[in-house]
Amino acid sequence: FRDHPGSVTASAEGFGWPVNRKQGLQALDDFIQHRLALFGTYQDAMWTGEPWLYHAHIASALNLKLLSAQEVVNAAEEAYKKGAAPLAAVEGFIRQILGWREYVRGIYWMNMPDYLERNALAARQPLPDFFWTGDTEMTCLRESIQQTLRTGYAHHIQRLMVTGLYTLLAGIHPKAVHEWYLSVYVDAVEWVELPNVLGMSQYADGGVMASKPYAASGKYIDRMSNYCKHCRFNPAASTGKDACPITTLYWDFLMRHEALLAKNPRMVMQIRNVNRLSAADRKAIQAQAQQHRKQLQ
């Protein structure tokens, strides 16, 4: 498996995933003891060279049934009762297990097999080659993809608001995005991965799972990480040689889908910002976005 994502070598970024019941319980205890207390504060943070941060790293154990959702919830609740973790951290973590994970399972079983074919935004672009190498000038994508290929892991904000955001804005075919996620992540089983990608990340289901597309500019990534401080692109610029491709594609995405998104109450503010753009700015952004997409082919 030399060319596959992840590693079977025991090291800090090698294979450290639980493969039996005892190891699953050890992984849960390690999170409860050492990271849960700060999970709420830093669950959405991203930092160069820090793939693990304060996350639980137990999704694969849950999906392989080495752990039950109930015992994970009970362990987090007990930590709160003992004063070992604040309410915000415990509530945020339990909501992911008891709330979001079960919701995702329901979406999958209610909507498959047709769900796999949904493409509400008619995205047709092929997946860029750099998703298999991490060879890109965009620091956020390079960090998230190379980390994924080394470890088989990225946390939920890297998946949703870096790799997923880019593919949404660039118009990558959602099935190609789904197949990449299913291929590279150690915790990816289809019932949990597919709705998160097609529905939450790519809005390919047209709003079955989420009430709006999670579209943002490079400025969001700048707020949530230090990636932009190590990048040659300017997250505030949408045109010019230093413009962040994500920011350019963000405005282009809103313009391409303006008629559809204008009907969504949660997108009203973003569409109003589009309407403030001059005709010249619109044209320049669209031209730069089109040039970026051509370079991906």
| pLDDT per position as a tens digit, 23-79 | 999 999 999 999 999 999 999 999 999 999 999 999 999 999 999 999 999 999 999
Residues 101-129: what's their mean pLDDT?
Answer: 97
For residue 61, give its domain range.
Answer: 21-116
Judged against a pLDDT cut of 80, whether residue 12 lies above it is answered with no
Tokens of 232: 């040659």
Mean pLDDT across the chain: 96
Residue pLDDT, tens place only, 153-186? 999 999 999 999 999 999 999 999 999 999 999 9
- Residue 30 placed within a domain: yes
Closest C-alpha to 244, from 231, 230, 234: 234
Tell whether 121 is covered by a domain.
no
Q: What angle do CA 256, 260, 262 make, to 5 degrees?
A: 100
8: in domain: no
- The tally of domains found in the chain comes to 1
Structural domain includes residue 40 = yes
- CATH number, position 32: 1.25.40.80
Q: Is residue 26 included in any domain, yes or no?
A: yes
Q: Which amino acid is at 188?
A: A
- 61 in a domain, yes or no? yes
Residue 149: how many other CB atoms lie within 10 Å = 19
| CB atoms inside a 10 Å sphere around CB 61 | 25
Give a yes or no: residue 206 inside a domain: no
**Res. 219 pLDDT band, cuts 50 70 90:** very high
Is-cis flag, bond preceding 113, omega within 30?
Answer: yes
Residue 199: closest CA among 212, 190, 188: 212
- Is residue 141 situated within a structural domain? no
Average pLDDT over residues 246-251: 99
- Pick from 68, 69, 88: nearest CA to 80: 88
Q: How many CB atoms lie within 10 A of CB 140?
A: 29
